Amino acid sequence: MHKRQFLKSALCLATATALGLGAATATASPDNGSEGGQYIMGTATTGGTFYPVGVALSTLVRVKLEPTHDISVSAISSAGSAENLRLMDDNEAQFGILQALYGAWAWHGEGPVPKAYDNVRSISMLWQNVEHFVMRSNRVESGTIDDLSNLYGRGFSIGARNSGTEGSGRQILAGLEIDPEQMNLAYLGYGPSADSMQNGNIDGMNIPAGVPASAVTSAFANMDSNISILNVTEEQLERINADYPVWTPYEIPAGTYPSQDEPVHTIAQPNILVVNADVPEEHVYQITKAMFENLPFLNNIHPATRDMALEKALDGLPMPLHPGAARYFQEQGLVIPAHLLEG
State the pLDDT at residue 251.
Answer: 96
Beta bridge partners of 156: 185, 204
State the pLDDT at residue 20.
Answer: 41
Query: Is the model's pLDDT at 292 over the cut of 80?
Result: yes
Q: Helix, strand or coil for residue 325?
A: helix
Query: Is the model's pLDDT at 3 over the cut of 80?
Result: no
- The model's pLDDT over 215-238, given as tens digits with 9 standing for 90+, comes to 999 999 999 999 999 999 999 999
Cα–Cα distance, 293 to 285 (Å, whole number): 12
Q: Please say whether the beta carbons of 230 and 143 come within 8 A.
A: yes
Of the candidates 85, 86, 119, the residue with the CA atom closest to the CA atom of residue 102: 85
Sequence-ordered list of residues with C-beta below 8 angstroms from that of 73, at least 6 positions apart, any chain: 39, 40, 41, 57, 58, 61, 62, 95, 287
Residue 30: count of CB within 10 angstroms of its CB: 12
For strands 248-252 and 264-276, give the pairing: antiparallel
- The model's pLDDT over 240-291, given as tens digits with 9 standing for 90+, comes to 999 888 898 999 999 999 999 999 999 999 999 999 999 999 999 999 999 9
- The model's pLDDT over 310-321, given as tens digits with 9 standing for 90+, comes to 999 998 898 999
Query: Is the model's pLDDT at 41 over the cut of 90?
Result: yes
State the pLDDT at residue 177.
Answer: 97
State the pLDDT at residue 79.
Answer: 86
Q: Please say whether the beta carbons of 208 and 173 come within 8 A.
A: no
**Range from 15-29, 53-67, 81-95, 216-230 carrying the lowest mean pLDDT:** 15-29
Q: Please say whether the beta carbons of 176 and 240 come within 8 A.
A: yes
Mean pLDDT over 285-309 rounds to 91
